Amino acid sequence: MKSIATLIAITALSAASAWAQHSSQEVQEDIERHKQMAAAHGAAAQCLQSGRKPDDCNKELQAACKGLALGKFCGMRHAH
């Protein structure tokens, strides 16, 4: 159990160190990108709720996220 706590602490320190290396402008740009990704995912959720085909909703998500995030689905992966 102690090794898990140590690993968590090291991971947290590494993340904090990496974050500290970004300028305030880069941080603001990251915030804006995350807001845009969240809006795109929200629109995809509404699309699916409306009963439209998942393929159509995914195409819209891909278009909205182009250039924002890594991967086919705007930086988000899940089970299916």
Q: How many domains does the chain have?
A: 1
Residues comprising the chain, all counted: 80
Does residue 60 fall inside a structural domain?
yes
Q: Is the pLDDT reported for residue 80 higher than 60?
A: no
Does residue 21 fall inside a structural domain?
no
Does residue 42 fall inside a structural domain?
yes
pLDDT digits (tens, 9 = 90+) for 5-37: 665 655 555 555 555 687 899 999 989 988 999
Q: Is 48 exposed, middle or buried (0-12, 13-18, 19+ CB in 10 A)?
A: middle
Q: Which structural domain, as residue segments, surrounds residue 69?
A: 30-80
